[in-house]
Amino acid sequence: MIDYDLDVILFSKHKLWKLERILEVTNLDKEKFQRKLEELNEKLEIRHLRKLEYKNEIVAIPDNLQNFEEVRFSINQKNFVLSEIERQALIYLLVFVEARTLSIYDLQNWLVVSRNTVLSDIKKLRKRLEKDKIQVEYSRKKGFYLHFENEKHQEKAWYFLQKLSEKNGCYILSKFLNQKDSLAIFKVSQFLRQTMKQMKIEIVYSRYISTLLYTSLLKARASKYPDEAINKQIEALMIGMSDGRGAIPQDNFLYRIAFNIMENVMKLAAIEFEDFTKTFMALLAHLTPAYFRIKNHFELENVLLERIKNEYYSLFLLMDIALVPLKEQVGEISESERAYFVILFGGEIYKKKYSSKRLKAIVLCVNGISSSLIMKKRLENLFPTMEFILSTGVSHFEKLPKNSYDIIFSTVPVKSDKKVYLMSVFPEHREENELYNQLLKDYHLPGFVKPSAQNILSAIEPYITVKNPASKKDLLRIIDKKLNHTRREGEISGVMLSDLLTKEKIRFTDKSLGWQEAIELAAQPLIEQHEIEKRYVQAIIDKVEAFGPYIDLGLGIALPHARPEDGVNQLAMSFLRCEQPVKLMDDVKHEIKLFIVLAAIDNETHLRALSTLTKILSNKDRLNQLLTATEASEVEQILLEEEGEK
């Protein structure tokens, strides 16, 4: 990690330091100091510079420490080129400080680019800042400076700081901030550590440098434009970047928000957490810094965002409504921040799916690593629950630790006491089917044995007529294609709402019903289809009586459900729209027009269906259509349109 802890001795006029005094001025303990000394000496050695000598608890500092920022960041400025967005970010940040007069020539030197490049970057930066009403102005006397109509210039500084690479971009900024006073960032670092101690918080390791540099920017600007609010802003930043422990008193309103979010997740996803308290405390620890980040515009870029959206698509959609209690306090929540909540709840919801012991496999190919990677990709699609730890050439097989894998897939025979499956680099569907069926049989894996296309055709052939111009060969090809259809990631996540709410499950009533009667009537199609047992309906009613109107999703919709073990035979849903609103728990505050009974078999299979319901809840027009529908075909059409099928 880049740090500044030893700067106070490195840039001192004293060249000999006693260990006792070093620990006093750096606030480090002996162990940390020795570790940092070793790390620094390694960097100096790489650049063929004289190292710090440490003997008999005396440290000797070398005389010449020129270009030390290059040593600190382990880079050579001559060897890197800044990207366009990074240059624009740096121009903004250097101008933001306004610690000195900056001209085109100065920016050229800092960014090591031509005058035309600087002019082009400034032009694009000005365009980028237009919507925030921030102008990058220039005068002979002041050089470049910011002109703004609101306080967004600080928010923008944080935004641009996130655009800097950890090495090149941060190196330029660090060099700029330390140029006038070589201990400028060190002093801020000491200030942060002292404040952390007073507040009893810890900044997350990976967020420390951005916190340090932003605080240094604010303090550098404050030397010219004193700002009484700066300490409050730094305090909010530190909490936002902390691990959430010990930051907020326990009677804080965030407890209420956390509880409401938990309640929403359980309602919208129709799940119960195995350990409510543990999940709640984890949420609270995350919510506290998240609240300060979002409210003060210190949001973090989430490098896992796209992966989370793909792999947890349903939960990602549900989270938009589940976080409404937080939104009401902080305003809109970015996708990046929402994704962090998905990680938190996803870990609990999907842990059963991933907690069982997974088979570990290696892939060997006589043609080398490239071919084995192709094989690995195909096998991952074929066996998604298996962990493929390595793909490599056969020549490397003997070097692999035997305890690191359970199964071998190989293009050539290899000697091993583990199970070896031979296969082609590009197996045909028939070979893939055989391999798939054999694995299921050998390891009792969940799934069904896939018949071959030829077996299916042979079974149905006596009962069908293939008309010209089609042929049996065409039919065989189509069956084969259907059998081996590779689902997209989005399709893997569960059953769609339109698959569950079919015509026979959608009903309407104009009778005046009590809430128990309404639940019984809504669940009736599921009983008729033997998808639930009668006791499941009573379990729902008993739970509502015991825990209150927890099934009320708001906006006139209720999601009655109980536990799978209360009588669920298979995943199912039913729909009942009531012309006359039903008072849940006989309470006028919980009037329900639409009951959607859910029979879930686990915590996750139904999430995709509920994500569609969540999208409808967040769309007033679509919700109104659903609440006023009078025919099953209307409901089906709404669901299909929401799912993008029509």
424 C-beta neighbours (distance < 10 Å), count: 11
| pLDDT number for residue 355 | 47
Q: Does some domain include residue 449?
A: no
Pair (188, 173) in one structural domain: no
Query: What is the residue range of 149's domain?
Result: 84-178
What's the full length of the chain, in residues?
Answer: 646
Which are the contacts of 462, defined by CB distance < 8 A and separation ≥ 6?
Answer: none
Q: Does some domain include residue 465?
A: no
Two structure tokens written together for 33: 């100091």
Stated as kind and residue range, the H or E segment containing 199 is helix 184-199
Pair (290, 312) in one structural domain: yes
Q: Does some domain include residue 173?
A: yes
Report the candidate in 69, 116, 117, 125 with the shortest Cα–Cα distance to residue 95: 125
Q: What is the dihedral of CA 586, 587, 593, 599, to 10 degrees?
A: -70
Q: Please provide the DSSP assignment of 506-537 as one string.
A: EEEE-S---HHHHHHHHHHHHHHTTSB-HHHH
Beta bridge partners of 554: 557
Q: Which residue has the tokens 């349109």?
A: 641
Pair (321, 386) in one structural domain: no
Pair (282, 227) in one structural domain: no
Identify the CATH number of the domain in which residue 511 sits: 3.40.930.10
Which of 312, 332, 350 is the endpoint of a domain?
350
Domain count, the chain: 6
Report the candidate in 355, 345, 369 with the shortest Cα–Cα distance to residue 265: 345
Does pLDDT of 304 surpass 90?
A: no
State the average pLDDT over residues 567-596.
93
List phi, psi (to 5°) of 194. Answer: -65, -40
DSSP 203: B
Pair (339, 415) in one structural domain: no
Report the candidate in 150, 162, 286, 148 with the shortest Cα–Cα distance to residue 214: 162
State the average pLDDT over residues 135-141.
90
Two structure tokens written together for 226: 């004193």
Label the pairing between strands 134-139 and 143-148.
antiparallel
Two structure tokens written together for 488: 């997209």
Contact 213, 96 (CB under 8 A): no
Q: What is the pLDDT of residues 15-63, one digit of tens each?
A: 899 999 999 999 899 988 998 999 999 999 988 889 999 998 999 998 8
Q: What is the pLDDT of residues 330-381, one digit of tens each?
A: 999 999 999 889 888 887 776 655 444 578 898 887 665 656 677 777 787 7
| pLDDT number for residue 65 | 75
Name the 3-class secondary structure at 134: strand
Q: Which of 172-186, 356-370, 403-417, 453-467 has the highest mean pLDDT?
A: 172-186
| pLDDT number for residue 498 | 85
Contact 518, 595 (CB under 8 A): yes
Pair (621, 574) in one structural domain: yes
Contact 518, 575 (CB under 8 A): no
For helices 313-322 and 607-617, the axis angle rounded to 10 degrees is: 40
Using alpha carbons, list the distances in angstroms from residue 600 to 53, 474, 568: 67, 40, 7
Q: Which residue has the tokens 């903004």?
A: 92
Identify the CATH number of the domain in which residue 409 sits: 3.40.50
Mean pLDDT of all residues in the chain? 86
Q: With left for phi above 0 and alpha for psi between -120 and 50, is residue 623 left, alpha or beta?
A: alpha
Q: Does some domain include residue 487?
A: no
Task: Using a pLDDT cut of 70, give the percent of the chain over it.
Answer: 92
In angstroms, rounded to a whole number, what is the distance separating the alpha carbons of residues 321 and 316?
A: 10
Q: With left for phi above 0 and alpha for psi between -120 and 50, is residue 167 left, alpha or beta?
A: alpha
Report the candidate in 596, 36, 603 with the shortest Cα–Cα distance to residue 269: 603
Two structure tokens written together for 115: 């005058």
Label the pairing between strands 407-410 and 419-422.
parallel
Q: Does some domain include residue 479?
A: no
Q: Rg of the chain's alpha carbons, rounded to an integer?
A: 32
Which of 350, 375, 399 is the endpoint of a domain?
350
List phi, psi (to 5°) of 546. Answer: -80, -40
State the average pLDDT over residues 411-438.
82
Label the pairing between strands 552-554 and 557-558.
antiparallel
Q: With left for phi above 0 and alpha for psi between -120 and 50, is residue 397 left, alpha or beta?
A: alpha
Identify the CATH number of the domain in which residue 98 sits: 1.10.10.10
Contact 390, 363 (CB under 8 A): yes
59 C-beta neighbours (distance < 10 Å), count: 19
Does pLDDT of 606 surpass 70?
A: yes
Q: What is the pLDDT of residues 261-279, one digit of tens each?
A: 999 998 888 888 878 888 8
In angstroms, rounded to a whole number, what is the distance separating the alpha carbons of residues 493 and 600?
A: 14
Q: Please provide the DSSP assignment of 303-347 as one string.
A: TTHHHHHHHTHHHHHHHHHHTHHHHHHH----HHHHHHHHHHHHH
484 C-beta neighbours (distance < 10 Å), count: 17
Does pLDDT of 522 surpass 50?
A: yes
Q: Does some domain include residue 133?
A: yes
Pair (513, 626) in one structural domain: yes
Pair (591, 530) in one structural domain: yes
Which of 73, 101, 120 is the endpoint of a domain?
73
Active site includes 561? Answer: yes
Q: Does some domain include residue 474?
A: no
Pair (54, 102) in one structural domain: no
User: Cα 133–135–140 angle (5° rounding)?
Assistant: 160
In angstroms, rounded to a whole number, what is the distance separating the alpha carbons of residues 537 and 519?
A: 7
Report which of residues 453 and 449 the model is more confident about. 453
| pLDDT number for residue 582 | 95
Q: pLDDT tier at 250 (50, 70, 90 boundaries)?
A: low
Pair (505, 634) in one structural domain: yes
List phi, psi (to 5°) of 65. Answer: -120, 45
Does pLDDT of 243 surpass 90?
A: no
In angstroms, rounded to a whole number, what is the distance separating the alpha carbons of residues 355 and 610?
A: 24
Does pLDDT of 645 surpass 50?
A: no
In one-letter notation, the amino acid at residue 219 is K
Stated as kind and residue range, the H or E segment containing 288 is helix 276-295
| pLDDT number for residue 488 | 43
Residue in 14, 297, 485, 561 annotated catalytic = 561
In one-letter notation, the amino acid at residue 614 is T
Pair (504, 438) in one structural domain: no
467 C-beta neighbours (distance < 10 Å), count: 7
Report which of residues 467 and 221 the model is more confident about. 221
62 C-beta neighbours (distance < 10 Å), count: 13
Q: Does some domain include residue 480?
A: no
Label the pairing between strands 53-55 and 134-139.
unpaired
511 C-beta neighbours (distance < 10 Å), count: 11
Which are the contacts of 137, defined by CB distance < 8 A and separation ≥ 6?
Answer: 144, 145, 146, 147
Model confidence, pTM: 0.68
Pair (153, 264) in one structural domain: no
3-state secondary structure 251-266: CCCHHHHHHHHHHHHH
Strands laid side by side in the 16-18 sheet: 16-18, 58-60, 53-55
